[in-house]
Structure formats: C-alpha cells, structure tokens
Copies of this chain bind each other. A is one copy, B any other.
C-alpha cells in the first residue's frame, strides 16, 4: 500500500470505453487535466451524451497511448483483450469492482500483451448511474486501488498510477486477490446486508413504516443501487463473498438460537460494536475519539438552515462533519455538527448567543 500526491501528468490520447457514471467521470477528469480523451460505448447515445458533457470526443482516435475500460464486470476481460489487440502500443487498465477474475480470464486465454495491462478500481460511485450522473470531481481524494500482477511491465504500472493521479485520487496498491478479499468485506458484504434488510420491508402493513427512523434509512440506503450491475459484481467476486456470507449465516444462526433460548448474545452484539471501531476515520486516520457532536434544533422553515450555516461559519469553529436528521412528522430537524472536542463548548455557546437551541 502506498500513497502518492505527485503532479498530475498523463500522456494521451486516452480512449475511454464505456461511458457510464465511472467512465464518463474519468473522461471528464482527464479532459480537465488537459489530456485528449476519446469516448466509446456499446450504446452510442451514451458516448454522445458524454461528449456533450465535455468529457471528450466520439471521433475515432488515430493513436491511443492508454485505454480505460469502464464496462460492466461481465465484459471486462473481453473488452480489455480487444483493446490490447487493437492498440498494440497502448497501456490498458479497467476500473471494475473485481480484479482477479478478469486477469485470470485474460491469462488463461493466452492473451497477448498482458505486460501492457494492469487493473484498477476507484473507490467512488453512487446509487445513481449513467453519464449524466458523472462528475469530474468524483475521484478527488478518493482511494484508487491499483492491482499489479507478475506479468505487468513497470512502465504499465507507472502509466496506470498516472491516471489515478491525474484525476486527483489517492493511490492504494495491492495484489488483485487481496483487493477482491478487501472489497468483499468492506463493499460487497454491506451491499448484500443492506439489500436483505430493505427486502424485508415488504410483507408488513404500510402503517408499520410510520415508525421508521434514521437507523433504518442508513442501513438501507445503498440497497437502492442498480441490481444488474450488482448481480455481476457479486457473481464475479463470489468466492470471497460466499465465505463471508457463510460466516454471516453462522452468526445469524448463533443469534437466532441465542434469541430463542434467551441465552447470552452479548458476544455477537459486542463483536458488532468492536467491528465499527475498525473502520478508519476521514483521511485514513484512526477513528478519532476527539470529536464531539453539537446538536442544534432547526425549525423546518425556509431560510433557517441557511441562517444556521451562516452563524456556524461566523463562529470560526471548523466543522469536521455534519448531518441533518429528518424524521417522520418532525416539524423541527436536528443538525449534528461534529467539531474537535475542545471547540464544542465554544460552538454551542456561539450558537446559543445567536438564539439557537444548541447542546452537546
């Protein structure tokens, strides 16, 4: 694992194949960085939309220095092989969520030019999809996983690093198998659990959902993502994912048994608590215990939130994180403003002075 914040330079022209959310965002960011970008998509209207958004040109390139393959997981190996064949002097990378299966497929097919391919995976996305959901800043400061393999040339690796740097991402390097184990745990498993939770909302009377709170909303947010894309991701990463899901099933059985018998289940619940503490805080720091939340009551009327923002800005206390909590039938929202612990009293006092109900 390494991080790098070198200047943004990348030799073009670049061909982006696949103009969905991620491909178009890469194209926009590279164009902004001064790189000439060509666009292709199996659905030509997507490429045209991306061009309209300023992501590059749909003209056929005469020469290509680098190809970014941004197609759904099921098509990655095929499109990478085609790109290696079509552009025999170009470096090729892809941005799919799973890294070992396409590499193995390419190797076992005896693909020529594998020294010119290194896979990668930007840790950024959205529940939304398509070129119109793209953004040139999608990767700013995000982790961008790069997954070197034995057959790759050093120059290939360096060129793929340049892509991540050019779009403002933070490099994280690990072998393809390690990457797939990691995303199974931190991305694909939570996705499945969110889906299973949201799925159980069917079957009860609609009135029951009047009791839904923020916890349910948080747990189920990502369940709204595209099922077709996720079917491909989950299938492609099935080996590590199935092992984790079997572990979940064991835990679930233990819980079910414990709940039914009234036995001690605190150990399962306690493993959950300690698990949350393993997640790094912002900027890759350890979870910082030095933040305190200031709660502020915000009437749900035009201008109130704006007034809070203005007053908070003028307090001079830097905000580390912020959340607005809205709930059923609530005429008043609560803003949760996280600040460094030693500044919390100061912010609460400043807001109280300005007429807010603010408390720690």
Chain B residues with CB under 8 A of A174 = 207
Q: Which residues of chain B have C-beta atoms less than 8 A from A245's C-beta?
A: 252, 255-256, 259
Q: Once bound together, how far apart are the Cα atoms of A313 and B302, in whole Å?
A: 10
> CB distance A140 to B269 under 8 Å?
no
Instruction: Assess whether A57 is interfacial by the CB under 8 Å rule.
Output: no
* Chain B binder among A11-19, A104-112, A148-156, A188-196: A188-196
B-chain residues with CB within 8 Å of residue A256 when the two chains form the complex: 242, 245-246, 249
Contact of A330 with B282 in the complex, beta carbons under 8 Å = yes
Instruction: Establish whether residues B275 and A223, one from each chain, have CB atoms under 8 Å apart when the complex forms.
Output: yes
**B-side contacts of A329, CB under 8 Å:** 3, 141-143, 170, 283-284
Q: Which residue of B lies closest to A210 (CB)?
A: B172
Given contacts A223-B275, A259-B241, contact A309 B303 (CB under 8 A): no
In the complex, A300 Cα to B63 Cα: how many Å?
39
Cβ of A249: which chain B residues have Cβ within 8 Å of it?
Answer: 249, 252-253, 256
Contact residues in B for A283 (Cβ distance below 8 Å): 300, 326, 328-331
Contacts of A332 in B (CB 8 A): 137, 140-141, 168
Complex interface: stretch among A75-83, A85-93, A260-268: A260-268
When the two chains form their complex, are residues B202 and A274 in contact, meaning their CB atoms are under 8 A apart?
Answer: yes
A231 at the interface (CB under 8 A from B): yes
Q: Is B190 in contact with A248, judged by CB distance below 8 angstroms?
A: no
Whose C-beta in chain B lies nearest to the C-beta of A224?
A: B276
A210-232 at interface with B (beta carbon < 8 Å): 210-213, 215-225, 227-228, 230-231
